[in-house]
Structure 1
Amino acid sequence: MSISYDIEIAGKNCRDEIFATLVEGGVEFTVEKDIQKSSVIGFFSESGMRVFYSDDSMDDWSQSPAKDQALTMDDMVEDWSISARISLIYRNSVSELCDQEIRNFVSELNSRVPSNFVLSFQYDKTYAIKKDGHLEWLVDF
């Protein structure tokens, strides 16, 4: 069974900043596809935690029934217009390393991306939220 931590980014598309943060965080991309067509897949080189990225400029985004609606079940984000999603597929066998990589990635994303974003556990429970320029950790992991 896979466990995911999911990030939804609102507002303008910040693809360059997101990709720079992923690469500097140790993500290696495994799928060489035309980025306009579909999601980008990679993994964190130390933990092996998989990364799936998609945004509103990709062809498969328009096929999604959710499109720009927030999937995270939290009143704080229900009116956000989502421009990008990142799913991190957690590896229980190296949970401490995955926790560290997620925390580092979200902290760095906070520094680079001016947009609001939310980190959730499987879109169900909010772990961190950046709103109005301030990152708040709701769950310490």
Structure 2
Amino acid sequence: MSLTYMLEVEGGLSRGVMKSALLACGASIFSEDEAGFSGNFLGSNMFFLYRDRTDLSPSQVLAELVPSPLHWRVGSRVSLDAISSKFDECRDEIIRLLQELERRSAAHFVLSFQYEEVYAIRDEDGLHLYGNL
């Protein structure tokens, strides 16, 4: 069984920055096309799917119950399928990815569980973690 987390990222973050952040966190890219790419984290085998919106207009954040209004538009989304039996490893990899994105870019982002419960927000003040991811 897996738990799906959604990472919604502000437009302007390049595909290259996302790929390099994932690779720095132990991910392996195994499939790529014009819409995005997918792969697994080597430590936990957590699957991810990245999709950008370069061919479409940016959209609003879909995550519900965001603690404050967001003034940016989504340019890409990453689904992260955490494996229940390796949840601790998956959680650590997700947190490392968020920290790596914060280090590599000023882009805003929101991490939620299936667009319902918000676990992290990157805003102009930095990375904020909520609850127990």
Q: Normalising by the residue count of structure 2, what TM-score does the alignment of the two structures yield?
A: 0.88
Task: Name the SS for the 2:111 alignment partner.
Answer: strand
* Residues 5, 121 of structure 1: 8 Å contact kept: yes
* Residues 14, 113 of structure 1: 8 Å contact kept: no
Residues 75-98 of structure 1: CA distance to partner in whole angstroms, max 9, x if unpaired? 435553101111100100111111
Confirm whether residue 121 of structure 1 aligns to residue 113 of structure 2.
yes
Where does structure 2 lack aligned partners over 5 or more consecutive residues? none
1:85 alignment counterpart: 77
Question: What is the identity percentage for the equivalent residue pairs of Structure 1 and Structure 2?
Answer: 30
Q: Which amino acid aligns with 1:139?
A: G
Q: CA deviation at 1:24?
A: 1.1
2:19 alignment counterpart: 19
2:51 alignment counterpart: 54
Q: Normalising by the residue count of structure 1, what TM-score does the alignment of the two structures yield?
A: 0.83
Residues 1-141 of structure 1: matches in 2 within 5 Å?
A: 1-31=1-31, 33-34=32-33, 36=34, 38-57=35-54, 59=55, 62=56, 68-75=59-66, 76=68, 79-141=71-133
CA separation of 1:39/1:17 partners in 2, compared to 1, >3 Å: closer, same or farther? closer
Q: CA RMSD in A?
A: 2.0
Q: Number of matched residues?
A: 132
